[in-house]
Amino acid sequence: MKLLMVGARADGHAHVVLDAIVEDGTHEIVGLADDNPALWGQGVLGLPVLGDVAAAAQSLERLGITGAVIAVGDAAARCRLAAACRDLGLVLPPVIHPAAYVSRYAQVGEGAFIGAGAQVLPGAVVGELARVMAAGVVSHHASVGRGATIGPNATLCGRSRVGERAFIGAGAVVLPEICVGNEAVVGAGAVVTKEVPSGLTVVGVPARAVDWKP
Ligand SMILES: CC(C)(COP(=O)(O)OP(=O)(O)OC[C@H]1O[C@@H](n2cnc3c(N)ncnc32)[C@H](O)[C@@H]1OP(=O)(O)O)[C@@H](O)C(=O)NCCC(=O)NCCS
């Protein structure tokens, strides 16, 4: 399928998503869209930036584009841009790096991203537009909410649950059966031993709430 990639930051998530799609070979990115006007009409990562999503819509038929991938780190923006692409009739296939392991007994939602070396084990659910970054582990029967991010090398132990648009930092561990609420943030390297309420930021070992907002 020919794809529009939304998000054209050459030194950001877009390059990681492009790499996974090229290595996998199932889909082909033929154009980029980005909200940053400075990029419009430029070539980024060897691909043309067609404008924002509304402008790129004018080129979909000409380029044979029927799908989109949202390569934007901010969870709320990712969900908003996905809705805009769906309104244009584009489908959002999951992107799974060929060096990831995804069990046949796991579920991966539309528009989700699974990076190189990640593992998604039996019974796990990765929600739509969620991201499991390089070497992240979603252990058996754990779940990742819509739009959430599991950072590089982070581990969700068995039956743990991460809420919508939550962010689990690099190398953090969420212990078995523990829930992390919607839009909560777990700092890099933290070990989460008890429930994290929605919207809270926790850091450290064991993870404790902090009084600042990222
Ligand atoms: C927790 C986090 C979100 C806080 O970010 P922030 O609000 O910008 O916080 P700051 O960098 O201003 O740090 C505030 C304080 O918390 C401490 N702190 C920050 N992150 C910490 C962490 N992961 N563990 C322990 N302490 C941490 C800082 O040392 C600082 O302490 P101080 O006030 O005594 O100097 C961030 O540090 C983090 O861990 N992000 C994860 C990044 C990541 O893993 N990305 C994956 C890439 S895909």
Best probe residue, ligand 1, of 9, 165, 167, 203 (max atoms within 8 Å of C-beta): 203
Domain range for 10 is 2-93
Cα–Cα–Cα angle for 168, 170, 174, nearest 5°?
A: 45
- pLDDT tens digits, one per residue of 76-89: 999 999 999 999 99
Please name the residue ranges forming H helices in the chain: 13-24, 53-56, 60-63, 75-87
Whether residues 39 and 70 fall in one domain: yes
> pTM (2 decimals)?
0.97
Residue labelled with tokens 């939304």? 6
Q: What local confidence, expressed as pLDDT, does residue 207 receive?
A: 98
* Chain mean pLDDT for the chain: 97
Chain-centre distance of CA 17, in angstroms?
A: 9
**Contact at 8 Å (CB) between 161 and 126?**
no
Give the strand pairing for 43-44 and 47-48.
antiparallel
**Contact at 8 Å (CB) between 127 and 147?**
yes
Omega of the bond leading into 206 within 30 degrees of 0 (cis): yes
Q: What is the DSSP string of 63-78?
A: HT--EEEE--S-HHHH
Ligand 1 touching residue 88 (CB < 6 A): no
Is 41 contained in some domain?
yes
Q: What local confidence, expressed as pLDDT, does residue 213 receive?
A: 62
Cα separation, 206 vs 214, whole angstroms = 19
Catalytic residue among 15, 97, 140, 141: 140
140 catalytic? Reply is yes
Q: What is the DSSP string of 18-33?
A: HHHHHHH-SSEEEEEE
Ligand 1 touching residue 136 (CB < 6 A): no
Q: H or E segment at 156?
A: strand 155-156
Q: What local confidence, expressed as pLDDT, does residue 211 receive?
A: 77
Whether residues 72 and 82 fall in one domain: yes
At 60, which CATH number? 3.40.50.20
Whether residues 107 and 197 fall in one domain: yes
Cα separation, 102 vs 88, whole angstroms = 30
Q: What local confidence, expressed as pLDDT, does residue 214 receive?
A: 57
Ligand 1 touching residue 189 (CB < 6 A): yes
Number of compact structural domains in the chain: 2
Is 214 contained in some domain?
no
| Residues written for the chain | 214
> Low-confidence residues of the chain, pLDDT below 50?
none
- pLDDT tens digits, one per residue of 178-210: 999 999 999 999 999 999 999 999 999 999 999
